[in-house]
Structure 1
Amino acid sequence: MQAPKALAFDVFGTVVDWRSSIAQQASGFVAQHLPHISPEQFADGWRALYQPAMAACRSGARDFVALDTLHHEMLQLLLAQHGLPAALQHSAEVAELALAWRQLQPWPDVPQGLAQLRQLLPVVTLSNANVALMVAMNRFNGLQWDAVLGAEVSQHYKPAPQAYLRTAELLHLQPGELCLVACHHSDLAAARDCGLQTAYVARPNEYGGAPAPDRAAEQVWDFHANSFGELAEQLAAVL
């Protein structure tokens, strides 16, 4: 296996702890409007609408729209499912809460580990997040990338092949020269099908300790690590 020439990162779950971050930001809203559930259950319910929301864009049933827009629509649908009034669903309060995904905290190993990886290779995002979302998140959590790429740039949501192949193309790399770093087996499987190298970083607490929904897609990946620092050590040995 040749050494990769750049690293592309999934973000939600791999880089940032979306569940704890969303639960924390939504805690006041949940206490006021949905006191029968926990903030963590609220975060899980919101995230559960993620793949169905993107499916319409993938199928061509609707034009590509930015993830910020989908997050807002998902939140409105979640509130409707809980029987909350339409006036609240369309309120400024809900529009503001929909942007909570712009303020997600990284996992503890990420700041130092990402800096170590960036010393070895270019690091870019290969996320379903739109550019404005990623820019806001990076300014919030201080993470530094060499480029913000992914779905909005390619106009295709993962796991569509175009999301992976367009990222490699923009970096002037062959697919096999780019390595996807992710904690999701399904994401890595789609990247491998496109010819990318694969690096799995375990995030056992992404779903609060519950089993990952895509565990059936697990394979033997090119790299396997428990932290970004450990991945940096593995890559340093082959570069």
Structure 2
Amino acid sequence: MPTPSILAFDVFGTVVDWHGSIVREVQALYPQIDADAFATAWRAGYQPAMQRVRSGELGWTLIDDLHRMVLDGLLPRFGLSHLGEDERDHLNRVWHRLDPWPDTVAGLVRLKTRHTLCTLSNGNIGLLTNMAKRAGLPWDCVLSAEVFRAYKPDPRTYLGVAGVFRVAPAQVMLVAAHQDDLAAARACGLATAYVERPLEFGAGRPKDVSPDAANTWHARDFLHLAELLGC
């Protein structure tokens, strides 16, 4: 089947291991707390925080600032209320320092030989750029909800990628490890590729990575996706 020319990637969980990265850093900084529970609770505040923006309760707010709001509410629960501003800011920026999955960089390099690669993340541009610089992620372009001032699954994000590159939506394929993100992209006319990330939430909470026939492609990882796409 024809392959879209633009591959747009969800980032948190799909490209980088947010859970494992946060656990490793929190364990090193604050060994007295349950780092697994901390990472899980922090991520659990992600969607509710964005929903406050989507609903209009909050004006446009960057993910860095939403992460900080969630973090400030989380610290007392884990006995970290005493952290000062510098410590809180450093911890909040762990989202800029997330490690890629083992297959990520090599897979992206292969995919880049035949496709234009961009992010399509709710993360803000500064966060995504710092992450890419540190992890060696070879994006052709960094796109973010910040560009469109709308958080996924708002259609403006998916259609915005097509608009940036002046192509039809069918010429864009969203690559993600989340079926709801992919379903929203399909509703906008994009092709979709599901990538299995069974350990996104840690070894203690494996994900169901069963195929969904509605997706254009289903891959074990980025190297498998490159193989499927002939890269």
Cα contact 1:4–1:197 (8 A) shared by 2: yes
Deviates more, 1:217-226 or 1:122-131: 217-226
CA deviations 1:145-181 (Å, max 9, x no partner) are 0100020111111111111111111111111110000
236 and 187 in structure 1: CA distance in 2 versus 1, 3 angstrom threshold: same
CA deviations 1:32-82 (Å, max 9, x no partner) are xxx3x4212111111110100100111111111111111111111111344
- Aligned equivalent of 2:166, options 164, 168, 172: 172
- Aligned equivalent of 2:220, options 220, 226, 230: 226
Cα distance in 2 for partners of 1:216, 1:223 equals: 12
- AA at the equivalent of 2:108: L
Could you tell me which residue of structure 2 aligns to residue 207 of structure 1? 201
Cα distance in 2 for partners of 1:30, 1:45 equals: 16
Cα contact 2:5–2:115 (8 A) shared by 1: yes
Q: CA deviation at 1:216?
A: 10
Cα distance in 2 for partners of 1:230, 1:132 equals: 30
Could you tell me which residue of structure 1 aligns to residue 45 of structure 2? 49
Cα contact 2:38–2:78 (8 A) shared by 1: no
Aligned residues: 230
Is 1:38 aligned with 2:34? yes
Could you tell me which residue of structure 2 aligns to residue 104 of structure 1? 98
Q: Which of structure 1's runs of 4+ aligned residues deviate more than 6 A?
A: none
Q: Write out aligned runs for 1:1-239 (5 A).
A: 1-31=1-31, 35=32, 37-82=33-78, 84-85=80-81, 88=83, 91-209=85-203, 210-212=205-207, 218-236=212-230
When the two structures are superposed, what TM-score results if normalisation uses the length of structure 1?
0.90
- Higher-helix-fraction structure: 1
Cα contact 2:197–2:207 (8 A) shared by 1: no
Secondary structure, aligned partner of 1:224 = strand
When the two structures are superposed, what TM-score results if normalisation uses the length of structure 2?
0.93
- Superposition RMSD on alpha carbons, in Å? 2.0
Q: CA deviation at 1:2?
A: 3.3
Q: CA deviation at 1:28?
A: 3.5
Deviates more, 1:201-210 or 1:122-131: 201-210
Secondary structure, aligned partner of 2:7 = strand
Cα distance in 1 for partners of 2:165, 2:8 equals: 10
Cα distance in 1 for partners of 2:52, 2:211 equals: 23
Q: CA deviation at 1:91?
A: 2.5
Secondary structure, aligned partner of 1:124 = strand
Structure 1: 5+ residue runs without aligned partners? none
